[in-house]
C-alpha cells in the first residue's frame, strides 16, 4: 500500500463534506474519483496534498505520516515531517498553474533546484528526458502562453514528475482538452502508473475514468460509516 487515508472527516461551516472516509492507493493503480459537483472530491485531493486540513483522520504514504487520528482530531506531524510526506506526492492542477513568466524549461527546473534534488546539469538532463518521453522536447524554450492546452497539460505533468512523486494527483485533467488530446494524456498517465507511481484522478469525465482508471470510486462513498 502506497497511500493510506483512514476515517477522513471534514466539515466546512459545520456542513460535512467528508465523513469517515477511508481509501488507499497502491503502486501502479489509477484510482478515479467521480461524482456530482460539490460532493468533496477536490477537498479530498487537497487534504492529501496538505492544501487543506482534515478535521479527523489519518493520512500516510508508506511510513511517512501527514496526520494521525486522535481523540481531539487529526494531529498533524511537525513541519519537517510534513515536508518528507509532501515530497512524495504531487498534484497537477486543473488550470495547470504554470509560471507564466518562466519558459517551459525554467518551469520544470524551479522546484527541484530549490529542493537541491541534483546539480543544474543533472536536472537539465532529466528535463530533456522527460520532455522527450512526453513528445514535447521542441517546446522547451517557449513560454507557457505559446502552448496548446494538451501541451500545457504535458508540461504540468512533467513538472510534477521532476520531483519523483510516489503518488501523483490530477484535478480534472481533461476538462480543457478535446477527446483526442484527452486520450493521449490518459495513455501518458497509464505509462506513469506502469512505472510504479500511484495515481489519483478527480474527474467528471466518466468515460475517461472508465477507459484509463484501474478503480473507480464514487463520491457518494465519502459518507461511509
Ligand atoms: N474553502 C472552503 N470553504 C467553505 N466551503 C468550501 C470550501 N471548499 C469547498 N467548500 C464546499 O465543500 C463542498 C465540496 O466542495 P469540493 O470542491 O470538494 O467538491 P467537488 O466534488 O470537487 O466539486 P466539483 O466537482 O464541482 O469540483 C462544496 O459544498 C463547497 O462549496
Which ranges in the chain belong to alpha helices (H)?
Answer: 41-48, 79-86, 104-114, 120-133, 149-161, 179-194, 206-212
39 lines ligand 1 (CB under 6 A): yes
Please tell me the pTM assigned to this model.
Answer: 0.92
| 90-104: pLDDT as tens digits | 999 988 999 999 999
* pLDDT, average across residues 177-196: 91
How many angstroms is it from 181 CA to the middle of ligand 1?
Answer: 27
- Rounded to whole angstroms, the Cα distance separating 1 from 216 reads 17
- What does the pLDDT look like over 129-182, one tens digit per residue? 999 988 889 999 999 999 998 899 999 999 999 999 999 999 999 988 889 889
Residue ranges covered by each domain of the chain: 90-164
Ligand 1 in reach of 99 Cβ (< 6 A): no
Select from 53, 45, 52 the least CA-distant residue to 23: 45
Does ligand 1 lie within 6 Å of residue 41's CB atom? yes
| Exposure on the CB side of residue 2, measured as CA atoms within 13 A | 20
The pLDDT > 90 percentage for the chain reads 80
- pLDDT on residue 159: 93
pLDDT of amino acid 222: 76
How far apart (Å, rounded) are the C-alpha atoms in residues 74 and 27? 25
* 135 contact partners, CB below 8 Å, separation of at least 6: 154
The rounded Å distance from CA 40 to ligand 1 centre is 6
Q: Is the CB of 150 under 6 A from ligand 1?
A: no
CA dist., res. 104 & res. 100, Å (int): 9
Residue of the CA atom closest to atom 5 of ligand 1: 12
C-alpha grid cell, residue 24? 488507499
Index of the ligand 1 atom closest to the CA of residue 172:
27
**CA 161 – ligand 1 centroid, Å:** 27
Residue nearest to atom 17 of ligand 1 (CA): 42
Give the confidence band of 224 by pLDDT, cuts at 50, 70, 90. Answer: low
- Cell numbers of 149, please? 492546452
Ligand 1 in reach of 219 Cβ (< 6 A): yes
For 11-65, the pLDDT digits (tens) are 999 999 999 999 999 999 999 999 888 889 999 999 999 999 999 999 999 999 9
Atom in ligand 1 nearest the alpha carbon of residue 13: 4
Write the DSSP assignment of 14-43 as a string of letters.
Answer: TEEEEEEEEEEE-TT-EEEEE-STTSSHHH
The ipTM is 0.94
Task: Report the nearest-CA residue for atom 6 of ligand 1.
Answer: 12
Residue 34 in grid coordinates: 467521480
Q: Sign of the CA dihedral 45, 48, 49, 52?
A: positive
Residues 103-126: pLDDT tens digits?
A: 999 999 999 999 889 999 999 999
Amino acid at each position: 500500500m502506497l497511500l493510506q487515508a483512514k476515517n477522513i472527516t471534514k466539515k466546512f461551516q459545520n456542513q460535512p463534506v467528508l465523513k469517515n472516509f477511508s481509501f488507499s492507493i497502491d503502486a501502479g493503480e489509477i484510482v478515479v474519483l467521480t461524482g456530482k459537483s460539490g460532493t468533496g472530491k477536490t477537498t479530498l485531493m487537497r487534504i492529501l496534498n496538505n492544501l487543506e486540513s482534515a478535521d479527523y483522520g489519518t493520512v500516510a504514504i508508506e511510513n511517512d505520516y501527514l496526520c494521525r487520528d486522535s481523540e481531539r482530531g487529526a494531529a498533524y506531524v511537525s513541519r519537517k515531517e510534513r515536508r518528507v510526506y509532501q515530497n512524495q506526492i504531487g498534484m497537477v492542477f486543473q488550470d495547470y498553474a504554470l509560471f507564466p513568466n518562466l519558459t517551459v524549461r525554467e518551469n520544470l527546473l524551479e522546484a527541484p533546484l530549490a529542493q537541491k534534488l541534483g546539480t543544474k546539469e543533472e536536472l537539465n538532463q532529466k528535463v530533456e528526458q522527460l520532455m522527450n518521453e512526453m513528445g514535447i522536447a521542441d517546446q522547451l524554450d517557449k513560454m507557457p502562453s505559446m502552448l496548446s492546452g494538451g501541451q500545457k497539460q504535458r508540461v504540468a505533468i512533467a513538472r510534477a514528475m521532476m520531483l519523483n512523486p510516489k503518488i501523483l494527483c490530477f484535478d480534472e485533467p481533461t476538462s480543457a482538452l478535446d477527446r483526442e488530446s484527452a486520450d493521449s494524456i490518459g495513455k501518458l498517465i497509464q505509462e506513469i502508473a506502469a512505472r510504479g507511481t500511484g495515481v489519483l484522478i478527480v474527474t467528471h469525465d466518466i468515460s475517461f475514468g472508465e477507459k484509463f482508471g484501474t478503480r473507480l470510486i464514487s463520491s457518494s462513498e465519502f459518507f461511509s460509516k
